[in-house]
Amino acid sequence: MFIDKYKPLISAFHSMPGLLSIKVCGSGTGLIQLLSTVPGCSNTLIHGETLYNAFATEKVLDYVPKHFVSAAISRQLAQRAYRESVSCLNRGQTGAAQEERNAYLVGIGITSALTTSRERMGVSQVFLSAWTKKKGMEGVVVHDYHVVLPKEWEREKQEIEVLLFSLHCVADIFATMNCDRDLQKLSQFVPEVNRQKEFVLPSLYCPVESSVTVFTHDSEFPIPLVLHGKVPAILWNSKGDVRIPYDPYHPEKESDDVERVNLLYPGSFNPLHYGHTELARAATKVAEERLGKPARVTYEMAVRVVDKGAIDVDQLKVRLGQFIQRGGRAAITSATLFVEKSAVFPGYGFIIGMDTAKRVLDPKYYGGGTQEEMLAALLEIKKNKNFFIVAGRKLSASATADGEREKGTWEDLSSLTIPTELRDMFISIPESDFRIDVSSTEIRERQGQKNNDVCNYYYYIRELFFLLYSVLLLILLTKSVWIFFFFFFFTP
């Protein structure tokens, strides 16, 4: 049978330490099927998933791509496949054992466009990317492969070539994974490029383009890229995958057919608390009602926050973990001003509170501090189709020192003077949708008090233990004295 001549190669794969997790968008499922037809598949395949529908792809990548068949998408699929395999296999493992296992994990992403029943523009081609990690290094290694198929070929012939291409790529990847004892075994079966049809082994008739990218930074938290000015922002999607225009990553380029309101919630989030999540919920509700589209929030932390100083890398990792663990989208940026945020996130709505809204409309935060500079900056933001969603607040004693309003009065957008040409940029969140009177400072103070209470609790337990121990020791000593006295004076 046709499939029989591939079985020795698959058996060779199954005898190696490499572990594959595969995500396919379009053609390429033959690789998953072929791996499973040869005994020992569980030694090689962790997970295999095929995506044909745009919404299925959105569920995996957290957005609908503008172009599905590209090196960018095969990389993003490979990244997701790799991170899924890490989360599955690293439970209960730490240190050297975890590092050893991760050195043999490979996430594979395949995306393709072949001959179809409908009229299609463009070439028939396949992109395959492999996302893996070398032992002892912090970053990742990404292998990219690409092949263009003759468009006049029938679909079946193209599918066979995609299968050969996939086998060629996997064999090439395995050969780089320190599997020295298996290289001779592989060399007997690797599908080679441009062999003659009559050759006995599987042959690739189309030339394969390939490249390798080595990324040496922390692949989960490449925050130094922002700190060193190499990128203006890093986005983590709801899966925790990195999205930036920097090799080996790619940004999100969403399809124009997707109707969505993107919201950006700037803050320090130290810590993330109920007030933050409720404001995000309320802003989402208001945006969807006003704009008639589903809304999605991305939490943003600037490397240097105006009026709050710098944030160190370790703190950023801790704060990012708050969002990644709960499936939220988060971004680290160097955009400390809204005019900078607008350039990085055009079309986004900015979620802000009253204090921030006052600063946005205060000329002193704009260069020379003139009204003209403020207007110019905000009109530039408006040109980028950004807007502000503003939450009200309960006035505190400090906010009412001028005596104009009583403590506890609700303050919202209606209390601000907004230039006529900017009014359509500001959307107010009604008090009925959001009224949470809590701050991060109060949360930290409560956590500190809670920690003190816990410390005091353990202190009292310890003191009680020592008291009981002393009493018991005293009783034993007293009893010993009486026994000694009795035997000394009353025994013959």
Tens of pLDDT along 225-284?
A: 998 889 999 999 999 999 999 999 999 999 999 999 999 999 999 999 999 999 999 999
460 lies in the same domain as 429:
no
Residue 27 CA from chain centroid, whole number: 27
Residues 111 and 192 in one domain: yes
How sure is the predictor about 125, in pLDDT bands with cuts at 50, 70 and 90? very high
- What is the tens place of the pLDDT at every residue in 331-385? 999 999 999 999 999 999 999 999 999 999 999 988 888 999 999 999 999 999 9
The pLDDT value recorded for residue 178 is: 60
Record the tokens describing residue 152, joined without a space: 């006049």
Supply 268's token pair: 């320090």
Distance CA 249, CA 230 (A): 13
The pLDDT of residue 306 is 47
Is 369 exposed, middle or buried (CB count within 10 Å of its CB: 0-12, 13-18, 19+)? exposed
Looking at residue 454, what is its pLDDT? 40
Looking at the fold, whether 431 and 453 belong to one and the same domain comes out as no
Does the pLDDT of residue 135 top 70, yes or no? yes
Strand order of the sheet with strand 242-243?
242-243, 233-236, 329-333, 295-302, 261-266, 349-352, 387-391, 426-429
> In the listed set 217, 239, 272, which residue is the last one of a domain according to the structure?
217
Q: How many CA atoms lie within 13 A of 143 on its CB side?
A: 24
Structural domain that includes position 260: 223-438
Are 251 and 95 in contact by the 8 Å Cβ rule? The answer is no
Nearest to 302 by CA among 251, 277, 254, 338: 338
Q: Same domain, yes or no, for 6 and 114?
A: yes
Specify the higher pLDDT residue, 486 or 406. Answer: 406
CATH assignment of the domain containing 310: 3.40.50
Q: Is the pLDDT of residue 444 over 80?
A: no
Within this chain, do residues 67 and 112 fall inside the same structural domain, yes or no? yes
User: Do 170 and 230 sit in the same domain of this protein?
Assistant: no
Write out the H or E segment, with its range, that includes residue 158: helix 155-174
Residues 3 and 124 in one domain: yes
Most confident of 94-103, 283-292, 405-414: 283-292
pLDDT digits (tens, 9 = 90+) for 454-482: 445 544 566 676 677 666 767 776 666 55
Q: What is the pLDDT of residues 180-215, one digit of tens each?
A: 455 555 666 666 765 444 434 557 878 889 999 999
pLDDT tens string 220-229: 999 989 988 8
- pLDDT score recorded for residue 145: 96
42: Cβ–Cβ under 8 A, 6 or more apart, which residues?
Answer: none
Highest mean pLDDT among 213-217, 303-307, 405-409: 213-217
Angstrom distance (rounded) from CA 422 to CA 383 = 11
Same domain, 176 and 150: yes
CATH code at position 86: 3.90.950.20
54-61 and 71-89 helices, crossing angle to 10°: 60
> What is the per-residue burial (b if ≥16 Cβ within 10 Å, else e) of 418-455?
beeebeebbbbbeeebbebeeebeebeeeeeeeeeeee
Tell me the mean pLDDT in the region 55-82. Answer: 96
- Which pLDDT score is estimated for 197? 44
- Residue with tokens 């020192």, as numbered in its chain: 401
> What backbone torsions phi and psi does residue 224 show, to the nearest 5 degrees?
-55, -25
Of 274, 272, 273, 280, give the one whose Cα is nearest residue 296. Answer: 280
Give the C-alpha separation, 326 to 346, whole Å.
Answer: 26
For residues 11 and 38, the answer to whether their CB atoms sit within 8 Å is yes
Same domain, 125 and 261: no
pLDDT (0 to 100) of residue 492: 55
Distance CA 129, CA 76 (A): 9
Enclosing H/E stretch for 141? strand 140-149
Number of domains observed in the structure of the chain: 3
447 and 434 in a common domain: no
Q: Using pLDDT thresholds of 50, 70 and 90, give the confidence band for residue 77.
A: very high
Residues 406 and 449 in one domain: no
Percentage above 70 pLDDT, the chain: 78
User: Taking the model in full, what pTM does it have?
Assistant: 0.83
410-411 and 393-394 beta bridge pairing: antiparallel
The pLDDT assigned to 409 comes to 79
Position 485 pLDDT exceeds 60: no
Q: pLDDT at position 448, please?
A: 55
Q: Do 344 and 464 reside in the same domain of the chain?
A: no
pLDDT recorded at residue 406: 58
Query: For the CA atoms of the chain, what is the radius of gyration?
Result: 31
Which one of 217, 242, 276 terminates a domain?
A: 217
